[in-house]
Amino acid sequence: MDKKYYEAYEERYKKVHQETGLAWAGEKPSQILEKLLKKYGANKNSSILEIGCGEGQNALNLMSKNYNLEASDISEEAIKWCKEKAKKLNLDERKFFVMDILKNKLTKKYDFIFSVAVLHMLVEDEDRNKFLSFIYHHLKNGGKAFITIMGDGVEQYKTDSSKAFELADRPFGDSIIKVATTSCRKVNWETFLSELKNANLRVLDHYIDRTVSGFDVSMVAEVEKDS
Ligand SMILES: C[S@@+](CC[C@H](N)C(=O)[O-])C[C@H]1O[C@@H](n2cnc3c(N)ncnc32)[C@H](O)[C@@H]1O
């Protein structure tokens, strides 16, 4: 079966892991997530789901602080990496699982869902709407989601998704590595806010943040399920 463009990260992770033994995105978690969980009163019993967790730097950090978190990604390589890290840290590796959020559904609903740098990978409108619909359908009533995407709120562009698996040179530490190009769509605030509104996700706050690990500038939306 043909692979979808948004599966290209699998190839990037495999290449980087095999060639360097290091994580593509590094090990540094983004502090903003714990701040947001605290802001909205999360406690250790609150159920939390991360979608598109990649190599797990954020999920592992929150799990090690005893947050009740599950984390998923479409990439088998990423989840294998997360499970190995979890074992080394004496955390529950079963909390990590492979899932395509554009195709799969869970039976459970969550108090909190967050996603770091995933929505901007989704280039097609239909895929972006499915991503937001997944969040809507998996939040409890009044549940909150934190969505961060690459972008400055002004610039808009999208890459050609048919080229997502093509190899390109990318900086990695002090060197250059040839990895799958993947995909990217930047949107401005008007577009992002209208996508959230159409998905019945009520915006509680939105702003530019420069502390999300691995990204110079990110757009952050804190949203609530509008029942
Ligand atoms: C730019 S990476 C960000 C990873 C991680 N959140 C981080 O901050 O390092 C985007 C991630 O989204 C995942 N992804 C893309 N499409 C997905 C889908 N349909 N379902 C689940 N995960 C997906 C990719 O495999 C990749 O790990």
Please give the structure tokens belonging to residue 40.
């909205």
Say whether pLDDT at 4 is over 80: yes
- Within 13 A of 189's CA, how many CA atoms are on the CB side? 11
Q: CA separation (Å) from 132 to 86, 91, 128, 192, 195?
A: 28, 29, 6, 11, 8
pTM, rounded to two decimals: 0.97
Q: What is the pLDDT of residues 124-143, one digit of tens each?
A: 999 999 999 999 999 999 99
Q: Best substitution site from 9, 60, 100, 209 to test ligand 1's pocket, by max atoms within 8 Å of Cβ?
A: 9
| Domains of the chain with CATH codes | 5-21+30-225 (3.40.50.150)
pLDDT at 214 over 90: no
Q: CA 129, CA 67: separation in Å to the nearest integer? A: 28
**How far apart, in whole angstroms, are the C-alpha atoms of residue 51 and residue 70?**
9
Tell which atom from ligand 1 comes closest to the C-alpha of 10.
25
Taking the CA of residue 101 as reference, the ligand 1 atom at the shortest distance is: 20
In the predicted structure, residue 213 carries a pLDDT above the cut 90? no
Atom of ligand 1 nearest to the CA of 127: 19
Dump pLDDT digits (tens) for 40-54. 999 999 999 999 999
Ligand 1 pocket test, candidate residues 70, 73, 127, most atoms within 8 A of CB: 73
The pLDDT, as a whole number, for residue 215 is 77
CB-ligand 1 contact for 100 (6 Å cutoff): yes
Go through 127-142 and write b for each residue having 16 or more CB atoms within 10 A of its CB, e for each that does not.
bbebbbbbbbebbbee
Q: How are beta strands 175-180 and 167-172 bridged, if at all?
A: antiparallel
